Amino acid sequence: VTGRTGAVVVGARGGLGAAFVEALLATGRYATVLALSRSAAREPVADPGEESADAPPRRIVAHLDLLDESSIRDAAALAGRLGEPRLVIVATGLLHDAATGLQPEKSLAMLDGDRLARLFALNATGPALVAKHFLPRMPRDGRVVFAAISARVGSVSDNRLGGWYGYRASKAALNMLLRTTAIEWARTARQSVCVGLHPGTVDTALSAPFQAGVPPGRLFTPARSAALLLEVIDRLEPSDSGRVFAWDGTEVPP
């Protein structure tokens, strides 16, 4: 770890994203933690701090909207200026949205083209555009990790219940985009790891309407899930790249 090593969290004001930012600052392993969210101001804001090698990690807050590629490009350039981004976590996602009446589909009859397109834009295209702009800014030598929060329901082979067409399909598409990215990235960055992660069922706004059937002890706080996923990330090898792993370190089948 050098004094210029950076971590990046996209979706830093979400339930899991905010927990990742706090956990990464607490590790002290990164000189900077770049916290990106669509509601942050366009002008980056940094914690006060010195540039010395033993200074505590600094949080830099900046803007990134997954639906605006130029904001992704600008955020990646900022990450490159801050130092060497060695870990990028994309913690954004969309399942439901009361304001626009977006709800997981229970049946084919509920399928709606515009809503499907919105789910794909947020859950699949957005994280892939983050990879497009951030990977070239990440070092080629040494360990580098790009992780996007996926979901077990994005597993095609594990789908026995049906329903949730758009969310499932957009997460499955995300997993394929991550795998394809992993193959390309390994050609230039031998120690690279590009994975999807399943966080368990986590007590956030995204899961709030769907927590009823969750067994006791299986509803994680965001802090618990983020801590478990950071442990999983630490144990991943380049040979794991392109796959999806759950909070307990087991692989989620494609």
Ligand X SMILES: NC(=O)c1ccc[n+]([C@@H]2O[C@H](COP(=O)([O-])OP(=O)(O)OC[C@H]3O[C@@H](n4cnc5c(N)ncnc54)[C@H](OP(=O)(O)O)[C@@H]3O)[C@@H](O)[C@H]2O)c1
Chain residues binding ligand X by CB under 6 A are 11, 13-17, 37-39, 64-67, 91-95, 122, 149, 151, 199, 201-202, 204-207
Provide the token pair at 36: 């990106």
Closer residue to ligand X in complex, CB, 31/146 = 146
Closer residue to ligand X in complex, CB, 79/149 = 149
Least distance from ligand X to the Cβ atom of residue 10, Å: 7
Least distance from ligand X to the Cβ atom of residue 51, Å: 29
Helix (H, G, I), strand (E, B) or coil at 233: helix
Q: Please name which of 20, 130, 118 lies closest in space to residue 65, comparing C-alpha atoms.
A: 130
Closer residue to ligand X in complex, CB, 4/179 = 179
**CA-to-CA distance for 21 and 30, rounded, in angstroms?**
11
Which amino acid, residue 57? P
Closer residue to ligand X in complex, CB, 188/221 = 221
Q: Are 202 and 225 in contact (CB under 8 A)?
A: yes
**CA-to-CA distance for 36 and 85, rounded, in angstroms?**
13
Closer residue to ligand X in complex, CB, 31/252 = 252
Q: Measure CA of the first residue to CA of the last residue in the chain; give whole Å.
A: 33
Least distance from ligand X to the Cβ atom of residue 94, Å: 6
Least distance from ligand X to the Cβ atom of residue 205, Å: 4
Least distance from ligand X to the Cβ atom of residue 11, Å: 4
**CA-to-CA distance for 155 and 196, rounded, in angstroms?**
11
